[in-house]
């Protein structure tokens, strides 16, 4: 809450600043400029040049630079959601922000080390690679608002500004609360972030840093208990969803994390071509620092037989992780040889519970996994005419968590309309910490697998072809060894309804092959368009431990046109989404994880959404009737066993950018 008040204060100040001065008539790329004193004007404006939308730059973690996009397209419709990204390969639960089941899988790892776990609760958790940095001509604000279900709303506010063209800041807060349609289903979250981006006047020193503080709190109702009678039957008495019986009314889980990140470099040597500003050769040293604390907690007022026997009457399970990371690097750039970087990586971790546990069988389960990891790394990048080559690797010198990671990409730009890319990934590391060690007040949820589990090995190859006329096609083949997952204890005699009392982390000893082919193409006829995305998946495995739908499709037919003498741009249409039935993973609220089940096939139902979107200057307005076919296409729409997808609902909101 304290972070939210800070953001509101800054936004109010931003509005007041924006109201000062008299607007001038000159408009460039939908951006109206304001008259300001010369001391406040950006350099381009002082020199008589127009400030355009392309002067509001967004810099990703990978240092790819884009600019603010205020247009309205069907892809904005796909990204206008809780995650603010395309959720084509995800299946949402009933409440906004609850969790998502997987319709597609990517095994490539952004991190070299294991994570805390509770992956089902991390979809809205901003990792290091999710934070953007900014370089703007004038202060800019980005506001997103969207209604949720029943009480609550979603607000994502960002303010970015600079004190000089070389020093840029941003402050953002994403606040969310949704009561939900079912009992004990409330979700709320807060994501605060602030960033800094600096380049010295001579260009030798650059810095980027961020601070992130995040919490995600969920009520967990355990799913429906009488799904055939109260949900699938379509009984009018239970269309009012609070009348439907759920399993829990006293369970919650939450993720809370804080992170401090710094990445800076200094060029020791820099030579330019002739008298130009183009660098020919440079030698730099760099340092990356990251300190993060995070915990996952499950709370329940009274224990429940659903998870088996318990030690105490009330449940308070808490897994904590503290990590401390330093990278020291040296980079050499030459216009002929390319960019080469070597690094030394130091990683300290402390994953812990409150106390050591001795089971009834005499097994001792530790309360801590702690240690240090040392790794060497290297990166290479080179542009050779139309070819671009990227490669990176890390190799662990000491420590037990990781082995190696390698990523390589070759991209060929045939022309502006045709691009081809080939990527390879290979990695070896231990599974997440909650697979290796976990403690709970529930007896069956205590384990230590530090000596039993081997490192997971991932090898993948991907080919992507982007064309203007034929669409986009990608094909990825992945081989997984020692695949680790949660599933039913193979040694237990499991009766129906006791599955969650017998969940264990398991590791598959056989290799798994996974193929994913994805194709996207938009067809246009005048003001009408048909946007299509189709995904095919195939899994080769001896045991059914990796379950995904064979076919997933999303098709949107829509109409676009300027209206009201071009004062508004309007876009309206219908989106159809469908995936074939398969053994959907089941959700376990105690772990905050999905687990493999092979007794119930779900899916094979259509999802239809109707939308009307409009753009007025820098404001985009969104109105959507979600899943409007729910009442007449059958009540079999599940996101996981016992967890339905949402019923028909109308939601609206807007995205607003303003400048000063």
| Predicted local distance difference test score (pLDDT) of residue 525 | 96
- According to DSSP, residue 138 is labeled S
- Three-class SS string for 45-102? HHCCCCCCHHHCEEECCCCCEEECCCCCCHHHHHHCCCCCCCCCCEEECCCCCCCEEE
Q: What is the reported pLDDT for 7?
A: 40
What gap in Å lies between CA 646 and CA 628, rounded to an integer? 10
What number is the average pLDDT over the span 353-370? 89
pLDDT surpassing 80 at residue 28? no
Instruction: Please give the structure tokens belonging to residue 578.
Output: 């469908």
| Phi, psi of 185, deg, nearest 5 | -130, 15
Q: Is the pLDDT of residue 511 over 80?
A: yes
* pLDDT above 90 for 122: yes
Cα(175)–Cα(191) distance, integer angstroms = 7
pLDDT band at 51 (very low <50, low <70, confident <90, very high): confident
**Position 2 pLDDT exceeds 80:** no
Domain ranges in the chain? 2-659
Q: What is the mean pLDDT of the chain?
A: 91
Q: Torsion over CA of 425, 427, 433 and 435, rounded to 10 degrees?
A: 90
What is the spatial distance between Cα 195 and Cα 193, in angstroms, rounded to a whole number?
Answer: 7
Once rounded to an integer, what is the mean pLDDT over residues 18-31?
35
Q: Which residue, among 102, 107, 111, has the nearest Cα to 61 in the 3D structure? A: 111
33 has a pLDDT exceeding 50: no
Mean pLDDT for 164-191 is: 96
Residue 18: predicted pLDDT: 38
Give the Cα separation of 537 and 542 in Å (integer). 17
Answer whether residue 418 shows pLDDT above 70: yes
Task: Report the pLDDT averaged over residues 636-655.
Answer: 96
Return the pLDDT at 560: 97
Which residues are within 8 A (CB) of 279 and not within 5 positions of it... i.e. 6 or more apart?
Answer: 270, 271, 272, 273, 333, 335
**What average pLDDT score do residues 635-656 get?**
96
CA distances from 452 to 137, 319, 431, 477 (A): 56, 20, 12, 28
Q: What is the average pLDDT across 567-571?
A: 96
> For residue 492, what pLDDT is reported?
84
pLDDT band of 30, cuts 50, 70, 90 = very low
pLDDT, tens digit, for every residue of 285-336? 999 999 999 999 999 999 999 999 999 999 999 999 999 999 999 999 998 8
Tell me what the mean pLDDT of segment 575-593 comes to.
97
- Beta strands across the sheet bearing 133-135: 65-67, 57-59, 133-135
pLDDT tens figures, 238-279:
999 999 999 999 999 999 999 999 999 999 998 876 655 678
Distance in angstroms (rounded) separating the CA atoms of residues 287 and 159: 27
Helix (H) or strand (E) segment spanning residue 5:
helix 2-19
pLDDT above 70 covers what percent of the chain? 92
Say what the pLDDT of residue 274 is.
60
- 40 falls in which pLDDT band (50, 70, 90)? very low
pLDDT mean over 642-650: 96
Average pLDDT of the segment spanning 120-137: 96
Q: What is the pLDDT of residue 259?
A: 98
Write the CATH number of the domain with boundaries 2-659.
2.40.170.20
CB 526, CB 559: distance < 8 Å: no
Tokens of 529: 């368009």
Half-sphere exposure (CA, 13 Å, Cβ side) for 556? Answer: 23
Q: What percent of the chain has pLDDT over 90?
A: 82
Q: Reply yes or no on whether the pLDDT at 580 is more than 80.
A: yes
Question: Residue 34 above 90 pLDDT?
Answer: no
Q: Give the pLDDT of residue 497.
A: 84
For residue 95 the two structure tokens come to 């409440």
Q: What is the pLDDT of residue 182?
A: 96
């Amino acid at each position: 809450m304290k972070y939210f008040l800070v953001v509101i204060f800054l936004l109010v100040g931003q509005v007041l600043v924006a109201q000062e001065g008299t607007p001038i008539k000159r408009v460039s790329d939908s951006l109206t400029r304001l008259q300001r004193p010369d001391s406040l004007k950006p350099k381009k404006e002082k020199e008589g040049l127009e400030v355009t939308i392309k002067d509001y730059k967004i810099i990703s973690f990978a240092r790819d630079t884009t600019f603010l996009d205020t247009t309205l397209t069907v892809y904005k419709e796909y990204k206008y959601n809780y995650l603010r990204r395309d959720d084509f390969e995800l299946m949402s639960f009933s409440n906004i922000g609850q969790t998502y089941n997987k319709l597609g899988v990517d095994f490539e790892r952004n991190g070299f080390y294991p994570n805390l776990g509770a992956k089902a609760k991390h979809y809205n958790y901003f990792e290091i690679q999710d934070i953007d940095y900014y370089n703007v001509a004038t202060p800019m604000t980005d506001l997103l608002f969207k209604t949720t279900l029943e009480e609550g709303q979603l607000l994502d506010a960002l303010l970015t500004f600079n004190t000089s063209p070389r020093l840029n800041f941003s402050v953002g807060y994403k606040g969310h609360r949704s009561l939900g349609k079912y009992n004990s289903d409330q979700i709320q979250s807060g994501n605060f972030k602030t960033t800094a981006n600096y380049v010295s006047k001579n260009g030798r020193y650059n810095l980027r840093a961020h601070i992130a503080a995040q919490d995600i709190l969920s009520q967990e109702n355990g799913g429906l208990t009488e799904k055939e009678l109260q949900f699938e039957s379509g009984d009018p008495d239970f269309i009012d969803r609070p009348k439907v019986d759920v399993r829990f009314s006293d369970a919650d889980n939450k993720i809370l994390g804080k992170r401090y990140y710094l990445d800076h470099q200094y060029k020791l040597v820099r030579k330019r071509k002739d008298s130009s500003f183009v660098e020919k050769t440079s030698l730099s040293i760099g340092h990356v620092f990251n300190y993060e604390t995070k915990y996952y907690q499950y709370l329940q007022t009274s224990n429940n037989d659903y998870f088996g026997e318990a030690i105490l009457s009330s449940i308070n399970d808490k897994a904590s992780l503290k990590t401390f990371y330093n990278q020291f690097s040296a980079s050499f750039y030459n216009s002929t040889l390319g960019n080469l970087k070597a690094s030394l990586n130091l990683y300290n971790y402390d994953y812990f519970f409150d106390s050591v546990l001795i089971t009834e069988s005499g097994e001792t389960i530790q309360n801590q996994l702690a240690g240090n990891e040392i790794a060497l790394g290297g990166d290479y990048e080179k542009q050779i005419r139309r070819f671009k080559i990227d490669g990176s690797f890390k190799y662990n010198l000491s420590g037990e968590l990781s082995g190696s990671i390698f990523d390589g990409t070759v991209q060929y730009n045939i022309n502006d309309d045709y691009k081809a890319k080939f990527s390879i990934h290979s990695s070896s590391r231990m599974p997440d910490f909650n697979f290796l060690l976990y403690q709970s007040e529930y007896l069956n949820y205590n384990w230590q697998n530090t000596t039993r589990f081997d490192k997971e090995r991932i090898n993948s190859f991907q080919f992507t072809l982007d064309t203007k006329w034929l669409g986009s096609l990608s094909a990825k083949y992945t081989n997984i060894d020692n695949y680790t997952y949660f599933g039913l204890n193979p040694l237990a005699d499991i009766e129906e309804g006791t599955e969650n009392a017998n969940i264990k982390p398991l590791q598959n000893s056989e290799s798994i092959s996974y193929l994913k082919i994805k194709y996207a193409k938009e067809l246009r006829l005048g003001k009408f368009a048909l946007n299509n995305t189709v995904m095919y998946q195939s899994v080769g495995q001896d045991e059914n431990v990796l379950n995904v739908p064979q076919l997933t499709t999303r098709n949107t037919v829509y109409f676009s046109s300027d209206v009201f003498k071009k004062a508004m741009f309007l876009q309206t249409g219908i989106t159809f989404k469908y995936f074939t039935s398969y053994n959907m993973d089941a959700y376990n609220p105690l772990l905050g994880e999905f687990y493999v089940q092979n007794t119930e096939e779900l899916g094979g139902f259509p999802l239809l959404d109707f939308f009307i979107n409009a753009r007025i200057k820098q404001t985009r307005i969104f109105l959507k009737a979600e899943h409007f076919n729910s009442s007449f296409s059958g009540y079999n729409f599940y996101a996981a066993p016992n967890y339905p997808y949402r019923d028909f609902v109308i939601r609206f909101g807007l995205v607003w950018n303003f400048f000063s």
